[in-house]
Amino acid sequence: MFLFTDAYAMISVIRAQEGFIGKWGGLLNIPQMIGGLIFIWTIEGQVVLASVILTLMVAGQIHKRTPFSRLIGICHLPWLIMAPGLAHRVLDHEHGLMLKAWLIYVLITVTISLIFDVMDVWRFLRGDKTFAWAKADERS
């Protein structure tokens, strides 16, 4: 299985896109990965790190089979469980300033992404299969 290489290939293709979309993935995933590693001793760090790895592997498989498909939004289903749990942990538990700031950043970016994901999956189900921002020669 090429779960990690497929995810890396997807990231490379998306980063090559013009405009904001190529940067959004980095703004979303890189801080989650780094923070997850920095805060690996906390349950929050472990959950976020595991979630980002899982979502990237699933997204890579979806992108491999249907490049630039709006269906890729379903890879973030674990976030629907993670986000409320993290919000609860932020509100009901004491955290250091850095951990709390990182968790708030994760919650904000995950929530924004989930909003787009719901819209994308809805559009996919209504027949709009590929992203408008994808270069025509890279869509299949």
59-82 pLDDT tens trace: 888 888 888 788 888 888 888 889
Paired tokens of 91: 């509100």
91-95 contacts, C-beta under 8 A, 24 or more apart: 95/44
Domain count of the chain? 1
Taking each helix axis from N to C terminus, what angle separates 43-65 and 21-38, rounded to the nearest 10 degrees?
A: 150
**Do residues 102 and 32 touch, judged by C-beta distance below 8 A?**
no
Return the sign of the alpha-carbon dihedral for residues 55, 8, 48, 40: positive
Mean pLDDT of the chain: 85
Start-to-end C-alpha separation, the chain: 23
Does some domain include residue 39?
A: yes
Domain assignment present for 116: yes
Q: Looking at the domain assignment, is residue 85 inside a domain? A: yes
Residue 26: what pLDDT? 74
Contact 47, 82 (CB under 8 A): yes
The domain in which residue 24 lies consists of: 3-128
Judge whether 139 lies within some domain: no
- Is the residue at 137 inside a domain? no
The pTM is what?
0.82
pLDDT (average), residues 7-22: 73
> Which structure tokens are listed for 128?
């709009």
134 in any annotated domain? no
The answer on pLDDT for 11 being more than 80 is no
Residue 115 lies in a domain: yes
Q: What residues are paired with 130 via a beta bridge?
A: 69
